[in-house]
Structure 1
Amino acid sequence: MRGKVIVSSLLARFFSAGHADAVTIFPFIFVRTAAMVHNKVLMNHERIHLHQALELLVLPFYILYVAEFLVRLICYRDFQKAYLNISFEREAYKNETDLYYLRNRRRWSFIKYYTL
């Protein structure tokens, strides 16, 4: 799944609460600038999220994503640290530079990135 990329600084900021250059809201990838569309690593990162969302039937992905973020925010009391420790983000960041990752990725791979 490649996703439809939409260049909109306003929507990227809105959906990420002003914290990200790009955000995936299935089936769209919102980026702040047109140049970001050509950033292969960033696009791979966001496409990993598309696959995660699809395998969890979309809505449960976002529910789990927000729930895990809130739990980690309570634990760490630091927005950035909480965000970076979400299992979905850990998988995406770990594999974003491997442009072939999605070809070989197994379903539910994000689970191995979940830690307490």
Structure 2
Amino acid sequence: MIIISKYLVPKNYSGLTIYPFVFLKRKDLKSDDFLLNHEKIHIQQQKELLWFVFFIWYFSEYLIRLIQHKNHYKAYKNISFEKEAYQNEGNLNYLLERKKFNFLLYF
């Protein structure tokens, strides 16, 4: 994981992961263990699917959720990859016990 603090992160978000890089909105976020854990979960998801399959799936699922919920925030929060990351970001041991392709349980 290579952490980069730049202004590349979209508005209203703190981080963005594109394997092997984690882009953070601000340098002080490097000390946010839960945010880094969230992004590490995305790194693992991207490694399992290869990053390009991950992003095709991610944006396809986002579009489906957007049609379903008619709301950007609800669509984003209901993407299986995000659901797994948000629900487990507080468990700093999650990646040690996580099974491969576990995001499918959140689909």
TM-score category by the smaller chain? over 0.9
3-state DSSP of counterpart to 1:19: coil
Please say if 1:4 is aligned against 2:2: yes
3-state DSSP of counterpart to 2:8: helix
Aligned to 2:67: 74
Moved over 2 A (4+): none
Query: How many Å apart are 1:19 and its aligned residue?
Result: 3.3
Aligned to 1:86: 79
Q: Output the amino acid matched with 2:59.
A: V
Query: How many Å apart are 1:67 and its aligned residue?
Result: 0.4
**TM-score between the two structures when normalised by the length of structure 2:** 0.97
Query: How high is the sequence identity, in percent, across the aligned residues?
Result: 41
Aligned to 2:94: 101
Determine if contact 2:81/2:106 at 8 Å carries over to the other structure: yes
3-state DSSP of counterpart to 1:29: strand
Identify unmatched segments of 5+ residues in structure 2. Answer: none
* In 1, Cα distance between equivalents of 2:86 and 2:14: 14
**TM-score between the two structures when normalised by the length of structure 1:** 0.90
Q: How does 1:1-116 map to 2 (within 5 A)?
A: 3-8=1-6, 10-13=7-10, 18-114=11-107
Query: How many Å apart are 1:96 and its aligned residue?
Result: 0.3
Query: How many Å apart are 1:29 and its aligned residue?
Result: 0.4
Identify unmatched segments of 5+ residues in structure 1. Answer: none
